Structure 1
Amino acid sequence: MNTSLQSSSKEAILQYLLKENQASAQNIAEAMNISTQATRRHLKDLLEQGLIEYDLIRVKTGRPQYLYSLSRQGRDRFPQNYGEFAVSFLDTLTETVGENEVSRVLQKQWEKKADNYRKFMTGKSLQEKVTRLVEMRKEEGYMAELFIIEENPPQFFISEHNCAISDVAESYPQVCSHELEMFSSLFPECLVERTNWIHQGEHRCGYLIKIC
């Protein structure tokens, strides 16, 4: 199966789980009209990406049954009008506790996000880490692409054609600074530079990652 078909099948599985809440691999295979074997491969990939989770149901006879459902991260893939609420909340927070405290809150948020990324990057080579980061950013709606600029020494360029938090970034551009700090913390052996910035009117955000 080619990559585009695999992606569409995985997206269809996520949409099915959103509607059904929980389902077995067999139920999903029947609904998607694909083989159970192919379904299990897709489910394995979605589990590794943190988009789904499962409950193990033990029965009196036969094998235990796995029931799959969307994880919180999986549900966050689907459109939610959080931007306006987030900006309004930050405005209220700024009025209540001041800009310095809000900046500390945003910093803490990016530190938590970096910790979540690290869970899926630990133990991998630099190129594998960058590739996994781009995959996760794609899942979050950033339309990320990876370009290998140099192989020895390694040098990578990440291009993001969409800002998934554009509403917040427009009102609170400091979140972009925290984002750059987050990327730097994920690759301590590298220099991470922002080369392009949507907030400054460019058509993408760009990050250059190279060995120090």
Structure 2
Amino acid sequence: MTTTHQPSTKQDILQYLLKQDQTTAQDLADALEISPQAIRRHLKDLEAEGLIEYKSVQVGMGRPQHVYHLSRKGRDRFPNRYDEFAVSLLDTLTETVGHDQVSSILRKQWERKGKEYRDKVGMGSVQERVAKLVEIRKSEGYMAEWHVLEPNKLNNSAEPQVILTEHNCAISNVAESFPSVCGHELEMFAAVLPDCTVERTHWLNQGEHQCGYLIKSRSQE
């Protein structure tokens, strides 16, 4: 029983860190409903495998706490790249036809992808279409989710705004070498939801722990 449970628990820890960016052993124990002692054993194993790292943070007058986060190797455990081949291919294309031509090719690719997404998302409310878009992204290796920002004093529109979050990047290696693809991705989301404005709120490529997008109907403006 224990042997089969441990790999699942370790994966749960890695997924939690992917979503939360960083956490303590106690917070992990509370979130996963496992004893702190068991969590620390898993953390020690994951650290030995090079999948997580920690830093010591002083809290009050007590002993420093270990705050854990994923290492680069830990992030690479999730579907987050189409391997080095894509980057190598784009490098070769850049050497052959030039950077401007490659940028044009990438733009065409995202335009094609946007049309494909739009056909799959179909009609419906903003929330229904975003929910479908999130399912598509999940099928492509993104750890994606969405939630609604309920109307408040600053946002008194009848239709709530929506946040789309991606906790990993399925093309991270490409994005690091060719950051323009992130701009194309933003344009693609806007094309998929033509009656909405799409604003990037978080960006993995700038060191944040997720990519986030604020989506709102143009009728809210």
Q: In which range does the TM-score fall when normalised by the shorter chain?
A: 0.5 to 0.7
Q: 1:192 corresponds to which residue? A: 198
Q: Is 1:140 aligned to residue 146 of structure 2?
A: no
Mapped to 2, the partners of 1:186 and 1:154 lie a distance apart of 18
Residue identity opposite 1:108 in structure 2 = K
Q: 1:168 corresponds to which residue? A: 174
CA drift at 1:188: 1.4
Mapped to 2, the partners of 1:179 and 1:185 lie a distance apart of 10
SS at match of 1:120: helix
Report the CA distance shift for 1:129/1:101 in structure 2 as closer, same or farther (over 3 A): same
Candidates 195, 203, 212, aligned match of 1:206: 212
Cα-to-partner distance string for 1:183-209 (whole Å, 9 max, x where unaligned): 011111111000000000000000000
SS at match of 2:215: strand
CA drift at 1:82: 3.3
Q: Are 2:166 and 2:211, in contact at CA under 8 Å, matched by a contact in 1? A: yes
Mapped to 1, the partners of 2:198 and 2:80 lie a distance apart of 31
Q: 1:85 corresponds to which residue? A: 85
| Regions of 4+ moved over 2 Å | 79-83, 150-154
Aligned residues: 135
Q: 1:114 corresponds to which residue? A: 114
Mapped to 2, the partners of 1:167 and 1:186 lie a distance apart of 24
Q: Which one scores higher on RCO, CA 8 angstroms, separation ≥ 6?
A: 2
Q: 2:149 corresponds to which residue? A: 149
Q: Are 2:80 and 2:171, in contact at CA under 8 Å, matched by a contact in 1? A: no
Mapped to 1, the partners of 2:188 and 2:201 lie a distance apart of 16
Q: Percent identity?
A: 60
TM-score by length of 1: 0.60
Mapped to 2, the partners of 1:82 and 1:148 lie a distance apart of 31
Q: Are 2:145 and 2:164, in contact at CA under 8 Å, matched by a contact in 1? A: yes
SS at match of 2:131: helix
Within 5 Å, give how 1:5-24 maps onto structure 2. none
Q: 1:123 corresponds to which residue? A: 123
Report the CA distance shift for 1:121/1:80 in structure 2 as closer, same or farther (over 3 A): closer
Report the CA distance shift for 1:80/1:141 in structure 2 as closer, same or farther (over 3 A): closer
CA drift at 1:81: 7.3
SS at match of 2:216: strand
Residue identity opposite 2:88 in structure 1 = S
CA drift at 1:211: 1.5
Mapped to 1, the partners of 2:117 and 2:180 lie a distance apart of 20
Residue identity opposite 1:115 in structure 2 = K
Q: 1:180 corresponds to which residue? A: 186
Report the CA distance shift for 1:130/1:84 in structure 2 as closer, same or farther (over 3 A): same
Residue identity opposite 1:178 in structure 2 = H
Mapped to 1, the partners of 2:80 and 2:159 lie a distance apart of 41
Mapped to 2, the partners of 1:80 and 1:191 lie a distance apart of 26
SS at match of 1:103: helix
Mapped to 1, the partners of 2:119 and 2:194 lie a distance apart of 16
